[in-house]
Chain A
Amino acid sequence: MHPAPSIIAFSTFSGLGLGLLFWLGVDTSAPTGWVAFVFFAIAYVLAAGGLISSTFHLGRRERALKAFTQWQTSWLSREAWCAVAALVTMGIYGFFLVFFDRQIMLLGHLGAFFCLLTVYTTSMIYGQLKTVPRWNTGLTPALFLALSVAGGALLSGRVTIGLILLVIAGAIQGIWWKRGDRRFAQSGTTMATATGLGDIGEVRAFESPHTGTNYLLKEMVYTVGRRHARKLRLIALALMLVLPVFLLILPNPHVFGVLALFSHVAGVLVSRWLFFAEAEHVVGLYYGMR
């Protein structure tokens, strides 16, 4: 799948911002006043900024509001609702924390729940697609949620829980990659089933329908950079897991914590690029490609 920068930025940063909001929501001694203001400002820039950047890949951005209508069937529509619910609930919760030094715990918990639900709905946009076997697994929501709460923990300065969550997220990422490599074969979709010609013999694409490229090939048969996938996986894992863990167990986590955070985010960006670039859509089979 084509790794659109707007989608990579959206899912990474909104996940991070929503993760931070989650921790602010469940924190029984949440910051108040200016400290709270800074935390909430960072979270909103990341979450809302990410969500806005997701509209950049739309062909008709001016109609984006119509995406709220089909929540009964569409995960994309559900995501829009959950994002608004999370941002509004946490906004009111944050408003009372910043200006009235008052923590409305119920509102915080509700907002935290919506934050996780938003990340879940985002992951299901990809996880629901049978056409992309690598994504079509229950591990995809697990991966998105783990990365979101781990990143949020780092952002909110939680060292111990952050360390644990980093390791969990890293483990899920590893399993997701390993299993993902077998998903296409497991899906049972082959050139034989795509063309229905498998009964006759081995099917080979002889001639493409067009000499140039097209939308389908650009969008769904993105093969550039896959040959470096192994190296990039190691780089992603080193940046998002190994280096942050090393930095966090050093003394003085406040100084190294920031470095750990930046390293983690860079690692998640690489991992998210691979999430798209490595994903193979079954339509590629019609072109004899993966």
Chain B
Amino acid sequence: MTQLPDKTDRKMGLVIDLDTCVGCHACVVSCKGWNTENYGAPLSDQNPYGADPSGTFLNRIHSYEVQPETGPAQLIHFPKSCLHCEDAPCVTVCPTGASYKRTEDGIVLVNETDCIGCGLCAWACPYGARELDQAEGVMKKCTLCVDRIYNENLPEEDRVPACVRTCPSNARHFGDLGDPDSDVSQMVAERGGMDLMPEQGTKPVNKYLPPRPKDRLNNEIDILAPLLEPVAEEPKGFLGWLDKALEKI
């Protein structure tokens, strides 16, 4: 069914901390590793060892350089996967009903046996969260590791998406963003979690925590500064002579 549910019981999603992400791509690898051998068709690669390799990934890490008005530029690593939008445009455009949003937890999924691979959902997604698998001819997207989070065969600590489980810097968090008391919702409230491309009207469930402001000196000079030996600006002795001599040439 490509009609979006009026409301979902829970809003499961990710909170991604742009402050702590170190851009190691471990989540990319663990995502591909888990999802290529579990839910749905494998995530194929084309020409993986050749001159022009490409492949299907459900999670990719961009890096941005942000230049403030003053001070040095900041480098921010930016993980991006499906944001499981409340108003998911990818779902309503699907002609076959392969794309759907679950009422119980809000996860956006693709029923691969119904997908005709028309690609329209990937066109409708502003975030680039959907990729058409070139070997299978069906649309692949983040499932929020639906085959992990409810999987009672796994130890409890593993019942989170693979990317969350593997992140070495705790930049990815998983939980119910519909529950204001959940850890993830608290974190979003505290840190000013934001939506990507809010003007697109997709109402993403996943939130991004902006980088914390950098420490600043605010022109405050250390109280010990007057006691420190001032740095010699003018060279003396042999170096002074050399400096003058070179200047004259």
Q: Which A positions have Cβ atoms within 8 angstroms of B?
A: 1, 57-61, 63-64, 66-70, 72-77, 80, 125, 128-132, 187-189, 191, 193-197, 199-210, 212-216, 219-220, 281-283, 286-287
In the complex, A220 Cα to B96 Cα: how many Å?
Answer: 22
Contact with A along B169-183 (1 / 0, CB 8 A): 000000000000000
Q: Which residues of A contact B199 (CB under 8 A)?
A: 187-189, 193
Supply 12 A–B pairs (Cβ within 8 Å), ascending by A. A58-B117, A66-B95, A69-B95, A70-B95, A188-B199, A194-B126, A194-B197, A201-B73, A209-B62, A210-B57, A282-B197, A286-B62
**Alpha-carbon gap, A196 to B15, bound state (A):** 14
Residues of chain B lying within 8 A (CB to CB) of residue A282:
126, 197, 200
Q: How many residues of B contact A (CB 8 A)?
A: 70
Instruction: Tell me whether B122 and A216 are in contact (CB under 8 A).
Output: yes
10 nearest A-B residue pairs (beta carbon): A59-B117, A59-B137, A209-B60, A201-B68, A283-B128, A207-B63, A76-B95, A66-B96, A67-B95, A77-B95
B135 to A, closest residue via Cβ: A59
- Partner-A contacts on B (CB < 8 A): 1-3, 18, 23, 28, 52-57, 60-69, 73-76, 78, 80, 89, 91-98, 114-120, 122-128, 131-134, 136-139, 194-201, 208, 210-211
Query: Quick one: given A189-B126, A214-B55, are A201 and B64 in contact (CB under 8 Å)?
Result: no
User: Do B93 and A128 touch (CB < 8 A)?
Assistant: yes
Quick one: which of A80, A131, A208, A209 contacts B200, CB cutoff 8 A? A131
Q: Report how far A255 CA is from B137 CA in the complex, Å.
A: 47
Choose among B116, B123, B127 the residue that contacts A66 (Cβ–Cβ < 8 A): B116
A residues less than 8 Å from B61 (CB atoms) = 209
Given A57-B118, A67-B96, A74-B92, also A130-B60 (CB < 8 A): no
